[in-house]
Amino acid sequence: MIKEESPRNLSQKSESELSAASGFIRPQHGITNETAIVYNNIVKLRRFKQLKNINFDQTEAQFLLSLKQLVHDNINPIIGLCYNNPTNELLVLSKFCSRGTLSEYLHNPEMRMDGKFKTAFLRDIINGLDYLHNAPIGYHGNLTTSNCVIDANFIVKLVSVGMEDLLEDWKDNNLIEDIEDTTSKTDIRPINEHPDEELLFRAPEFLRKAPPIRPKLIRMSKNEQIRIKLMCRMADIYSMGILFFEVLFRQHPYADVQTPVEVIVNKIRTPTRQLLRPTLPKVIEKEHHPAMIQLMQACWSEDPISRPPIKRVKKLFSTVYKVRGGLVDSIIQMMDQHANSLEKQVRERTRLLEEAQLRADRLLAQMIPKDVARDLKLGRPVIPRGFDSSSVLFTDIVSFTTICSKSSPMEIVNFLNDLFTGYDAIISQTDAYKVETIGDAYLVVSGVPNENGTENVKVIATIALQMRQYLSLYKLPHIPDFKMEARWGLHSGPVAAGVVNMASRMESTSEPSKIQTSLEFHAALTSRKDPFITEKRGTITVKGK
């Protein structure tokens, strides 16, 4: 018994060692109808009933050695044979591919396949066939979707390569025979479940042979082998064209022809003016490149010489799709691109978030003091505080009702926006704080929350004078001849509702274009000896005072 070794090491063994061995490899344990555990690896089994002892002659040993030397990512290698055993069974062992055949995958409705999957699968098949056509074995001979398997990494591998020659030779010599398949059937219907259905992939020139079987090279002369290999390569291209159709459209070939398989095969075998080929869908998706459709149709040409060689197929396919690596590589590349796209989106969303946060901070700063806003953002409780000295300014527009009666809603909004924007610019140059605006009323406070001693009276008085100066130059865009006037009321004292209320009373009882202060504010202002000129108005009645 020869243990499983890498193909390179095994190829170094002599023909006498191979022929003298009782088998390339033997299963050790865990054999089922479909798989076995061999040297801790899962392998796929093909079973045949062995009628006589098998002894390899030199031709057979050399042929098996050439099969063992087939090493390619898209070829599923023959691991070995188990024969001359007490069970009278011949077991052909090959690498197990966990995702089943390409036919099962294509016709399972639960399996989603986009253009990347189809492109990767077709590229693997082309690469595998290109390797075979340039290897000593020279061709495949039975290319169908059922003779393509998918491994765990979604790489398609060609199976039934070359071994069919030897098996057919042993059947002809009554050494082995097929046994009834006892494996459990799945709900997925393989394309060649019917023995004749794999003939739908067979080239017409071989279907015309009786019986339509693949040629066996193992007993042929070298000159005959060269001629037959050339014919078989052309037949492989035809089979690949039919396979392309099944992969691209996920349809069984000739599924629209409502006749038995034998009738379809007979029509393909007998050429007429109207050749029978798979029918293309009326609507072809954009992912199916027109050049690929033309290539597929060229592959199933009736004239073998007109079919493109595998090198040309590979070159055209690479030009159209420009893909590198396996499907997993494509998925990884797609994930990298997706990750880069996500990073760009994250950066863009972060920028937008920062801009939105900045706008929110600005808006919040206009609504509440910055210290309070900062505490609220940090989740800190805002503890009420009392301020012994503060100054408050109230102002509103004189004859605002008259202005509203002569203006449209949008003109009023634009007017107030322009006016208060100018007021805001004046306040921004000081430590005062705009408390709120209600209609045409505008409320400003200084000394809160940043205490500034008696400086607040100067700040508020200065703001009032600057506001009056700004208003004297302001012209209503839609009523340019209207004279804009306002009233101002100022008051100083501890921060409480009464302070604000008193400033409001000073404003409401003030005369147009006048700045009216309370006695408390006047006393605080004159005590600083600031250069402000005041004029005593006299006694007035103030509501609630």
pLDDT digits (tens, 9 = 90+) for 304-317: 999 999 999 999 99
Q: How much is the pLDDT for 494?
A: 82
Query: With bands split at pLDDT 50, 70 and 90, how would you rate the model's confidence at 149?
Result: very high
Q: How confident is the model at residue 435 (pLDDT cuts 50, 70, 90)?
A: confident
Q: Which fold has domain 1-96?
A: Phosphorylase Kinase; domain 1 (3.30.200)
Highest mean predicted confidence (pLDDT) among 73-87, 119-133, 492-506, 511-525? 119-133
pLDDT single digits (tens) 35-56: 888 878 888 888 899 999 988 8
Question: 387-527 has which CATH code?
Answer: 3.30.70.1230
User: 365 or 294, which is more confident?
Assistant: 294
DSSP string, 94-135: EE--TT-BHHHHHT-TTS---HHHHHHHHHHHHHHHHHHHHS
Contacts of 308 (CB under 8 A, 6+ apart): 237, 295, 298, 299, 316
Where does the pLDDT of residue 501 fall: very low under 50, low under 70, confident under 90, or very high at 90 and above?
low
351 or 329: which carries more pLDDT confidence?
Answer: 351
Task: Please give the single-letter amino acid code of residue 360.
Answer: A
Rounded Cα–Cα distance for residues 418 and 413 (Å): 9
pLDDT at 12: 36
Please write the tens of the pLDDT for every residue from 321-350.
876 666 667 677 767 777 888 888 899 999
Residue with tokens 């009464």: 498
Question: Greater confidence, 91 or 532?
Answer: 91
pLDDT average, residue stretch 141-170: 87
Confidence bin at 244 (pLDDT 50/70/90):
very high
According to the CATH classification, is domain 98-161+189-323 in 3.30.460.80?
no
- Do the domains at 1-96 and 98-161+189-323 have one common CATH topology? no
The pLDDT of residue 51 is 92
Average of per-residue pLDDT across 460-484:
88
Which of 72-86, 171-185, 262-276, 522-536 has the lowest average pLDDT? 171-185
pLDDT tier at 498, thresholds 50, 70, 90 = very low
Instruction: Locate the domains of the chain by residue range.
Output: 1-96, 98-161+189-323, 334-376, 387-527
Mean per-residue pLDDT for 111-124?
85
How many angstroms separate the CA atoms of 98 and 101, rounded? Answer: 9
**How many H helices and E strands in the chain?**
18, 12
What is the rounded distance in angstroms from the CA atom of residue 454 to the CA atom of residue 49? Answer: 112
The mean predicted confidence, pLDDT, of the chain is: 80
Query: Does pLDDT of 461 surpass 80?
Result: yes
CB atoms closer than 10 angstroms to residue 410: 9
368-387 confidence digits (pLDDT tens): 767 777 777 787 776 767 78
Alpha-carbon separation of residue 306 from 148, 213, 234 (angstroms):
25, 23, 9
418 vs 534, more confident: 418
pLDDT value at residue 213: 53
- Band (pLDDT 50/70/90 cuts) for residue 358 is confident
Do the beta carbons of residue 518 and residue 502 sit within 8 Å?
A: yes
User: 13-22, 99-108, 517-526 — which is least confidently predicted?
Assistant: 13-22
pTM score above 0.85: no
> What's the whole-number mean pLDDT along residues 456-484?
88
Are 158 and 148 contacting, i.e. CB atoms less than 8 angstroms apart?
yes
Query: Residue 86 has what pLDDT?
Result: 87
- Give 281's pLDDT tier (boundaries 50, 70, 90): confident
The answer to whether 507 and 396 are in contact (CB under 8 A) is: yes
Assess contact for 124 and 326: CB atoms under 8 A: yes
Q: Which amino acid is at 411?
A: E
In this prediction, residue 310 carries a pLDDT of 95
What average pLDDT does range 3-16 have in this prediction? 35
